[in-house]
C-alpha cells in the first residue's frame, strides 16, 4: 500500500509491466479506508517505521565516524559508505511523509564523504571502475527520453569515450558482452531514489560539481517528484519532447540529445565560473492529498 500519488502510480505501472512481461497478470487500483483505522493512523504508522529505520542508520554512521576518528591513519572502506548510502536511499524511497531522523543521517553521511581519506579512495575506485568499461557496447530501450539521453551523454563524456550505443527490446535480447542501462535488468538503472544518471555518477564516483546541477534536472524530470526544484527542468523537458518529435530514428535522436547535454553542461559550467554554485531547493514529500491510498 502506497499513497495515491503520481510517483506511486508510476512505480506500480512499472511493476505491472514487469509482471505481465513474465506472463503474469496484475491490476493497479486505488482504495479508500472503510474501517476505523483512520488516514492519520496510517500516516503515523508509516512515519514510526521510517523513524526507526533512520535511527538504525544514525547509529551505524556514528560508529563509522568514531572508528575513523580513533584510527586516524586508516581509511574508511568505500564499501561501508556505499552500503550506508544505499540503505538510506532505500528508506527514503518509502518515506512518503517526511519522517524525523532523515536529516541527521544525511548530515552524518556528508561528514563521512568529506573526510579526505574517503575522497582519495573514491577517486581511485572511480578510475578503476571506468577502466573496466572502456570501448564497450552500451544498450538501452528505444525512443530514449530524458534519463537515457542524459546517461548516454554522461557515459561518453566521463566514463567511456569510445562508447557505442544500441537499442534493444529488453535485457535478454542484448549481446552477452553489452552493457545495459536505464532498463529493467540492466547493469545501471534506477536505484532507490536515484535515477540512472545519478546511479552512474555514484557508481563511477564522478565528482564534477556541474554534474550535481545536471543530476537535479534529470531527476526532477524523470522521477517527477520535484525533489530538487531545478529551474531548468521544464525547459529541458520541452526540448527533449521536441527532439523526440523531430527524430524518428533512435540513433539520430540520441546523437541530438548528446549534443544538447554537452551544450547544457558547458552553459552550467560557465554559470558556476561567473556566479559560483547556486542554492538548490529540495522539496520534500508532504502528507497532502493522502486521503486516498493505493494498494
What integer pLDDT is reported at residue 262 of this predicted model? Answer: 98
Q: Is 154 inside any structural domain? A: yes
Q: Is 77 inside any structural domain? A: yes
What integer pLDDT is reported at residue 33 of this predicted model? Answer: 65
Q: How far apart are CA 220 and CA 243, in angstroms?
A: 19
Same domain, yes or no, for 157 and 208? Answer: yes
Same domain, yes or no, for 93 and 209? Answer: no
**What single string gives the DSSP state of each residue in 142-157?**
SS--HHHHHHHHHIII
What integer pLDDT is reported at residue 289 of this predicted model? Answer: 37
10-residue averages of pLDDT along the chain (295 residues): 74 83 86 67 84 91 73 54 80 83 87 59 58 92 96 97 94 90 90 91 90 96 91 96 97 98 96 75 41 37
User: Mapping DSSP to helix (H, G, I), strand (E, B) and coil, where does residue 3 land?
Assistant: strand
What integer pLDDT is reported at residue 184 of this predicted model? Answer: 85
Same domain, yes or no, for 164 and 246? Answer: yes
* Number of independent structural domains in the chain: 2
What integer pLDDT is reported at residue 119 of this predicted model? Answer: 47
And the C-alpha cell for 246?
523531430
Same domain, yes or no, for 148 and 212? Answer: yes
Q: Is 245 inside any structural domain? A: yes
Q: Indicate left, alpha or beta for 98 from its phi (over 0: left) and psi (-120 to 50: alpha).
A: left
Closest of 195, 204, 203, 90 to residue 148, by C-alpha: 195
> Taking a C-beta distance cutoff of 8 angstroms, is the pair 243, 233 a contact?
no
Q: Which domain holds residue 79?
A: 2-124+286-294
Same domain, yes or no, for 185 and 107? Answer: no
Amino acid at each position: 500500500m502506497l499513497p495515491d500519488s503520481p510517483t506511486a502510480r508510476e512505480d506500480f505501472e512499472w511493476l505491472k509491466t514487469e509482471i505481465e512481461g513474465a506472463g503474469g497478470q496484475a491490476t493497479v487500483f486505488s482504495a479508500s479506508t472503510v474501517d476505523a483505522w483512520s488516514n492519520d493512523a496510517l500516516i503515523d504508522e508509516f512515519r514510526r517505521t521510517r523513524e526507526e529505520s533512520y535511527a538504525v542508520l544514525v547509529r551505524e554512521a556514528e560508529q563509522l565516524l568514531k572508528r575513523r576518528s580513533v584510527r586516524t591513519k586508516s581509511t574508511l572502506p568505500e564499501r561501508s559508505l556505499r552500503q550506508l548510502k544505499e540503505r538510506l536511499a532505500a528508506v527514503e524511497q518509502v518515506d512518503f511523509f517526511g519522517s524525523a531522523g532523515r536529516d541527521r543521517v544525511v548530515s552524518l553521511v556528508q561528514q563521512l564523504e568529506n573526510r579526505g581519506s574517503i575522497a582519495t579512495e573514491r577517486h581511485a575506485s572511480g578510475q578503476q571502475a571506468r577502466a573496466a568499461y572502456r570501448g564497450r557496447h552500451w544498450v538501452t530501450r528505444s525512443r530514449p527520453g530524458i534519463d537515457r539521453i542524459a546517461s548516454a551523454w554522461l557515459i561518453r563524456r566521463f566514463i567511456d569515450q569510445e562508447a557505442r550505443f544500441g537499442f534493444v527490446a529488453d535485457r535478454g535480447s542484448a549481446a552477452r558482452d553489452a552493457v545495459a542501462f536505464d532498463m529493467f535488468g540492466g547493469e545501471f538503472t534506477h536505484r532507490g531514489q536515484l535515477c540512472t544518471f545519478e546511479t552512474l555518477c555514484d557508481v563511477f564516483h564522478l565528482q564534477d560539481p556541474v554534474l550535481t546541477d545536471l543530476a537535479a534536472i534529470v531527476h526532477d524530470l524523470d522521477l517527477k517528484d520535484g525533489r530538487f526544484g531545478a529551474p531548468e527542468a521544464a525547459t529541458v523537458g520541452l526540448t527533449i519532447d521536441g527532439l523526440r518529435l523531430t527524430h524518428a530514428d533512435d540513433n539520430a535522436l540520441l546523437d541530438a540529445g548528446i549534443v544538447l547535454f554537452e551544450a547544457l553542461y558547458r552553459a552550467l559550467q560557465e554559470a558556476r565560473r561567473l556566479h559560483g554554485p547556486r542554492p538548490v531547493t529540495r522539496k520534500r514529500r508532504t502528507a497532502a492529498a493522502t486521503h486516498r491510498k493505493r494498494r
